[in-house]
A and B are shown apart, each in its own frame.
Chain A
Amino acid sequence: MKSIAELEAIRQRTLLRMNLNGEDPNGDIRVVVGMATCGIAAGARPVMQGFIEEINRRGLSHVTVGQTGCIGMCRLEPMVDVYVPGSGKVTYVHMTPEKVARVVAEHIVNGRPVAEFTIGAAEENKSSDR
């Protein structure tokens, strides 16, 4: 059983680790995969597996892979958020295991988001299709 003070300590610690707005420049890079029913049905499991394997293969100890629920844009699943400390969140859409290697190499290792896989690019294409 945890006391109220202990719970508060967990809150602070976890908030720092989650680093949602990139406040902590020394925190870990977080890869968060949408793993609700919609995401899993669209193929999120192999994408998550792909990230874990690629990150292990490169021995990137400062990167964690996690999961989350449905953000609502089910038509763009599988969706992956990459939180880089100090530079905020980038959302990738329609992810596949094939795209994982490029996101790891270009974004996570070299700090350059893969623009063409992001939600911004996906929405841009959609409006030019119309």
Chain B
Amino acid sequence: MEIYRAHVLCCSGTDCTASGSTQIFERFEQLIKEKGLEKEVKVISTGCFGLCKDGPIVVVYPDGTCYSHVKPEDVDEIVSEHLAKGRPVQRLIRNKETEQEAAGKTLEDNEFYRHQKRIALRNCGIIDPENIDEYLAMDGYKALEKALTKMTREEVIDEVLRSGLRGRGGGGFPTGLKWKFTYNSQADQKYVACNADEGDPGAFMDRSVLEGDPHSVLEAMAIAGYAIGASEGYIYVRAEYPIAVKRLEIAIAQAHDYGLLGKNIFGTGFDFDIKIRLGAGAFVCGEETALMRSIEGKRGEPIPRPPFPAVKGLFAKPTMLNNVETYANVAQIILKGADWFSAMGTERSKGTKVFALGGKINNTGLVEVPMGTPLRTIVYDIGGGIPNGKKFKAVQTGGPSGGCLPTELLDTPVDYDNLVEAGSMMGSGGMIIMDEDNCMVDIARFFLEFTVDESCGKCTPCRVGTRRMLEILNRIVEGKGTMEDLDKLEELAAGIKSTALCGLGQSAPNPVLSTLKYFRNEYVAHIVDHVCPAHHCRALLQYIIETSKCRGCTACMKVCPAGAIEGEVRKPHYIDPSKCIKCGACMETCVFKAIQRK
């Protein structure tokens, strides 16, 4: 095979041929021969490059210059400048600026990241979670080293307390206080525990941390163990997260290898070890007392507090339980100081919060923003707004314990207290966006259905009360509700909130209460007008053929699975409401848009 110093590839696909690539090919061959370059440069006729709109395309290798919209008269310049003198013809290069710009644009240039501040997620997507060396390279285990060798236990607790870090699992209890209470408890054995039983529908922050940066949790637990005087830690993680579990196991083994877990860490005499316990998927096991019962091997049911876990927790010993994301912040606080951390956020909510964006939003994914970032920034600037030009209706925060916030509250700065004031809560950080097609009554019903399923059944308000509420909501979405039902819902909700045993029951009515507060008109429309404003609730829908638009093509008749459409060819059809099952197949089929959903 002959070796050429350059290859000229002329596209001979259909489009480029149509726009004259054959003449270009011939011109190249002719000119190269004239200039005596035929031993150095080879002209090849290739298949389609897939850049047809910019054709005819010519690519010159070895440098890979791509010329677009080439005309036969341009060939002379390419041969004399580029092939003979090695100077690419700039004016013909395809989309040079935009191409280079696009390639030069990294993640960090993206609108999605510009408003973010990543502390808990600092290493996620950057380091290899199965390689402890990469965690070390990002200053991993330096905070543990600092705490063990340069700080007293009291100083560690004070640093966390002063940072203003609050529990990221939802409640927002000051983390430092929890540490202090457990430190103050006297016992021969104490425990550190990590709540990784992430159960809110649509939330996956904790999974992401465990999968992307498991060592950050291990390091923080060891620091916590040193601070409160515990030598053992438990991570309670749901079995539905197999990759997280596997990476945790690898991380624990690697930390043992390096002596960062185990006996006499850094030669300071401090011992700490971590065990993993798998949850079997019960939502209630995310509640702290139920979680600890489950670790003990008992049935996962909550018990009344006090005594609080800081006094009597796991195996009846003082226990400090924090959420994954809370731990993910700790090492950075120890390393960079409480002042650095408390400089971010609002007056009473410091630092950042991770949110899982889901639902009707363009940029589904995971974001970490400083506390106090307005909802609007999260939904529109980071989330990229609502797909398909639909209108924003509400954002649901806090999962089954939270509530729905309407458009009017979009400028609310997100922090613990503002969300509670607005009738929702921070929760673990799921953020589900809803558009005009979502029925708010149905959303409330969905979340209540979830809590009814997940109620452990130990206390009556939660077991019976939430079920009664669900029954009422089911009546309303079927158009059989009464206005008295709304009062009953509120009465039941107030009762459940004040009497349920644990957080699951106490917060279960929140989705109903917040939708009643902000979207009462939708409830009333279902009850009084028998209409679902979002055209979502099937029982209240009606498919109607507009006679003026119907051409009688019979297409809808053919697809209707229930045989509910009657009519003759070229005459307007009619849908029999008694037979219609409201599947919507006819509406999708009709090319004349004659079928309406009301």
Are A and B a genuine interacting pair, yes or no?
A: yes
Known interface pairs A14-B134, A123-B110; A72-B64 also in contact (CB < 8 Å): no
Which A residues are CB-close (under 8 A) to B409? none
Whether A119 lies near B137 (C-beta < 8 A) is no
How far is B98's CA from A112's CA once the two chains are assembled, in angstroms?
A: 14
Known interface pairs A36-B208, A115-B102; A71-B124 also in contact (CB < 8 Å): yes
Tell yes or no: B128 within 8 A of A by CB: yes
Tell yes or no: B103 within 8 A of A by CB: yes
Which B residues are CB-close (under 8 A) to A114? 103
Which A residues are CB-close (under 8 A) to B125? 34, 36, 68-72, 79
How many Å from the CB of B404 to the closest CB on chain A?
23
Q: Which of B101, B121, B126 has the most CB of A within 10 A?
A: B126
Whether A70 lies near B137 (C-beta < 8 A) is no
Tell yes or no: A60 within 8 A of B by CB: no
How far is B211's CA from A40's CA once the two chains are assembled, in angstroms?
A: 12
Tell yes or no: B139 within 8 A of A by CB: yes
Which B residues are CB-close (under 8 A) to A124? 98, 102
| Per-residue interface assignment for chain A, residues 66 to 98, with 1 indicating a CB less than 8 Å from any chain B CB and 0 otherwise | 111111111100010000000011110000000
Of all chain A residues, which has the CB nearest B104?
A: A120
| Per-residue interface assignment for chain B, residues 106 to 117, with 1 indicating a CB less than 8 Å from any chain A CB and 0 otherwise | 110111110010
Whether A75 lies near B266 (C-beta < 8 A) is no
How many Å from the CB of A37 to the closest CB on chain B?
6
How many Å from the CB of A93 to the closest CB on chain B?
9
Tell yes or no: B18 within 8 A of A by CB: no
Of all chain A residues, which has the CB nearest B262?
A: A1
Which A residues are CB-close (under 8 A) to B113? 72
Q: Return the contact of B211 from the options A20, A37, A72 (Cβ within 8 A).
A: A37
Q: Which of A34, A74, A89 has the most CB of B within 10 A?
A: A74
How many Å from the CB of A23 to the closest CB on chain B?
13
Whether B211 lies near A36 (C-beta < 8 A) is yes
Which A residues are CB-close (under 8 A) to B134? 14, 18
Within 8 A of B (CB), among A1-53: 1-4, 7, 10-11, 13-15, 18, 20, 32, 34, 36-38, 40
Chain A: interface residue total (CB-CB under 8 A): 47
Q: Which of A18, A36, A114, A126 has the most CB of B within 10 A?
A: A36
How many Å from the CB of A1 to the closest CB on chain B?
3
Tell yes or no: A110 within 8 A of B by CB: yes
Q: Return the contact of B139 from the options A11, A75, A116 (Cβ within 8 A).
A: A11
| Per-residue interface assignment for chain B, residues 204 to 226, with 1 indicating a CB less than 8 Å from any chain A CB and 0 otherwise | 10011001110000000000000
Q: Which of A79, A113, A118, A120 has the most CB of B within 10 A?
A: A120
Known interface pairs A119-B110, A120-B102, A120-B105; A72-B365 also in contact (CB < 8 Å): yes
Which A residues are CB-close (under 8 A) to B131? 66
Whether A72 lies near B102 (C-beta < 8 A) is no
Whether B363 lies near A14 (C-beta < 8 A) is no
Whether A67 lies near B130 (C-beta < 8 A) is yes
Which B residues are CB-close (under 8 A) to A7? 136, 141, 145, 258
Whether B137 lies near A18 (C-beta < 8 A) is yes
Tell yes or no: B259 within 8 A of A by CB: yes
Known interface pairs A1-B259, A70-B366; A88-B106 also in contact (CB < 8 Å): yes
Tell yes or no: B239 within 8 A of A by CB: no
Known interface pairs A68-B125, A72-B124, A72-B366; A11-B136 also in contact (CB < 8 Å): yes
Known interface pairs A37-B243, A69-B213, A74-B366; A115-B106 also in contact (CB < 8 Å): no
Tell yes or no: B129 within 8 A of A by CB: yes
Tell yes or no: B412 within 8 A of A by CB: no
How many Å from the CB of A103 to the closest CB on chain B?
11
Known interface pairs A7-B141, A73-B107, A119-B107; A68-B127 also in contact (CB < 8 Å): yes
How many Å from the CB of B127 to the closest CB on chain A?
6
Known interface pairs A1-B259, A37-B243; A69-B137 also in contact (CB < 8 Å): no
Whether B258 lies near A72 (C-beta < 8 A) is no
Whether A75 lies near B364 (C-beta < 8 A) is yes
How far is B123's CA from A32's CA once the two chains are assembled, in angstroms?
A: 13
How far is B107's CA from A20's CA once the two chains are assembled, in angstroms?
A: 13
Known interface pairs A10-B133, A113-B103; A20-B126 also in contact (CB < 8 Å): yes
How far is B266's CA from A123's CA once the two chains are assembled, in angstroms?
A: 47
How many Å from the CB of B379 to the closest CB on chain A?
15
Whether B107 lies near A91 (C-beta < 8 A) is yes
How many Å from the CB of A38 to the closest CB on chain B?
8
Tell yes or no: B578 within 8 A of A by CB: no
Which B residues are CB-close (under 8 A) to A20? 126
Which B residues are CB-close (under 8 A) to A123? 105, 110-111
Of all chain A residues, which has the CB nearest B207?
A: A37
Q: Return the contact of B103 from the options A73, A110, A120, A126 (Cβ within 8 A).
A: A120
Tell yes or no: B99 within 8 A of A by CB: yes
How many Å from the CB of A121 to the closest CB on chain B?
4
How many Å from the CB of A126 to the closest CB on chain B?
8
Of all chain A residues, which has the CB nearest B358?
A: A74
Which A residues are CB-close (under 8 A) to B130? 67
Tell yes or no: B548 within 8 A of A by CB: no
Of all chain B residues, which has the CB nearest A15?
A: B137
Within 8 A of A (CB), among B170-198: none
How far is B110's CA from A91's CA once the two chains are assembled, in angstroms?
A: 11
Within 8 A of A (CB), among B521-546: none
How far is B126's CA from A18's CA once the two chains are assembled, in angstroms?
A: 10
How many Å from the CB of B284 to the closest CB on chain A?
23
Which A residues are CB-close (under 8 A) to B140? 11
Q: Name A's B-contacting residues (CB within 8 A).
A: 1-4, 7, 10-11, 13-15, 18, 20, 32, 34, 36-38, 40, 66-75, 79, 88-91, 106, 110, 112-116, 118-121, 123-124, 126
Listed by A's residue number, 20 A-B pairs whose Cβ atoms lie within 8 Å are: A1-B258, A2-B259, A3-B267, A7-B141, A14-B136, A36-B124, A36-B207, A37-B241, A37-B243, A67-B129, A70-B212, A72-B113, A72-B121, A72-B365, A74-B364, A113-B103, A120-B104, A123-B110, A123-B111, A126-B362
Not counting A3-B267, A14-B136, a sample of 9 additional A-B residue pairs whose C-beta atoms are within 8 angstroms of each other reads A1-B258, A10-B137, A36-B211, A68-B124, A69-B129, A75-B363, A120-B101, A120-B106, A120-B109
